Amino acid sequence: MPPSLAETLPWIAASAALVLALVFRRPRTALLAYDLALGLLWPHPPSPALFPVLALVALLVPEARMNRFSAMLLFALPWLLAWAEEGVLAAAGGTTSAVLAHLSWLLALGQWVQKGEPLRFAETLALLVAAWALAPLGGAPLALNLSAGIASTLLFGGVVLTSYRLAFRDPLTGLGNRRALEEALAGLAAPCAVAMVDVDHFKRINDRHGHAAGDQVLIGIARRLRRIPGASAYRYGGEEFCLIFTKRSAARAEPALEALRRRIGRERLSVSGKGGARELRVTVSIGLAIAEGGPLDAWALRAKADEALYRAKEAGRNRLMRA
């Protein structure tokens, strides 16, 4: 990589990560990106412990909604720490930065193992690189720039992936949400099939056993929908789900859905709600619409599946109807 590009890339990645972190109000990631940017801008701080201290503070910052005060504190923190280091941290000698750097990435590793989120994984890897490149501050400038660039890029990718999940994933079930469904419908081509799945008497479940039990039912149904081969599952809203079968799986949609309906009706879902733990028998109604060829209006196809679903519910529920 040319030296000029190696010097520019870290700034671009760190700045992009910082801007996205601020937009999506992720103070921890913003502080880590700020830490890396300062490492490039400030090669000779009062103490080499400054950067691992910032990383350690970043991991202790609660991921709550960022307000103006916390944003101002975020940008003032490095200078406050630099002032404090002159009388406290610098007295510990050159080992301080290494100890704090290792403590930072060990804490990040523990959080990633516990949370399992992509942004935590990116923070962990970024801190591993930063601990090597920024804490000692004794490496070659090119190696420092490359390492900080890798760490900044990891943070940028982590913020992007997490932001995508926030925008396109249902937080309860982990399935694609309504926005993700619209994206999938926009790219749909015949032959294909669209199915609408509704949990029967869901309001009764919430009223009798509580909303926590209702959430567990939705999670259990979503888990079963995710296992249907050749289908992409989405949470449409409330207790309704949508399944899309593409070209290779459209012909197998009806038998796969009928097998799903029967299997859900036979099984019992374990939930905890009002009155403690119990097993519930849950059934679903399904409406199916298939486009075998020709011009396709995916939204009209979904509407036909919805009409078939209502006919299944009017006919007594726990059944599959085809448009």
Structure tokens at 232: 């992409």
Catalytic status, residue 239: yes
What are the b/e assignments for 208-226, b being 16+ CB within 10 Å?
ebbeebbebbbebbbebbe
Rounded to an integer, what distance in angstroms lies between the CA atom of residue 182 and that of residue 176?
Answer: 10
Omega before residue 191 within 30° of 0, cis: yes
Q: Which of 246, 255, 258 is nearest to 291 (CA)?
A: 246
Q: Which residue has the tokens 């944003």?
A: 71
CA distances from 146 to 102, 134, 138, 157, 229 (A): 20, 11, 14, 16, 43
CA distances from 37 to 5, 81, 197 (A): 16, 16, 49
Structure tokens at 122: 């990116």
Helices marked H in the chain: 3-23, 27-41, 50-60, 68-85, 95-115, 118-133, 141-168, 178-186, 202-209, 211-226, 253-266, 298-314
Q: Is 32 exposed, middle or buried (0-12, 13-18, 19+ CB in 10 A)?
A: buried
Length of the chain: 323
Q: What pairs with residue 240 in β-bridges? A: 198, 237
Kindly name the residue from 182, 239, 240, 314 that is annotated as catalytic: 239
Structure tokens at 192: 């294909």
Q: What sign results for the dihedral spanned by CA atoms 194, 198, 199, 200?
A: negative
Catalytic positions are: 239
